Amino acid sequence: DGGITQSPKYLFRKEGQNVTLSCEQNLNHDAMYWYRQDPGQGLRLIYYSQIVNDFQKGDIAEGYSVSREKKESFPLTVTSAQKNPTAFYLCASSISGDGVTQYFGPGTRLLVL
């Protein structure tokens, strides 16, 4: 079955710790995205990648980093510089092109201890 997987489902971070969220897709999509959702808020774009080895900052990139070494994978690292990391993190992918439908993974909930 084709789809997008994210792991882990829940992640706990200690103060000052970097954590990495995994996102994998087998849809053969060129573009991948990371969003953050806070309670009662819309999704906000963190980073996106249109092609392997290239990525762009979204609206709230500070405190986050990404890599795109493989078409199938787009991991997100939440660094210690992100002062309010508790949120629901969603990864999405789409075929190339603007204005196209994005498909989402099941998400990772990050909690700060």
Partner 1 sequence: RKEVEQDPGPFNVPEGATVAFNCTYSNSASQSFFWYRQDCRKEPKLLMSVYSSGNEDGRFTAQLNRASQYISLLIRDSKLSDSATYLCVYSGAGSYQLTFGKGTKLSVIP
Report, in Å, the least distance between residue 6 CB and partner 1: 9
Whichever of 5 and 18 has its CB closer to partner 1, that residue is 5
Where does 1-113 show beta strands of DSSP type E?
4-7, 10-13, 19-25, 31-37, 44-51, 54-57, 64-66, 76-78, 87-94, 103-104, 108-112
Report, in Å, the least distance between residue 15 CB and partner 1: 25
Burial (CB count within 10 angstroms: exposed 0-12, middle 13-18, buried 19+), residue 13 = middle
Q: What does the binding site for partner 1 look like in residue numbers (CB under 8 A)?
A: 31, 33, 35, 40-45, 48, 50, 58, 88, 90, 94, 98-107
Whichever of 48 and 74 has its CB closer to partner 1, that residue is 48
Whichever of 28 and 41 has its CB closer to partner 1, that residue is 41
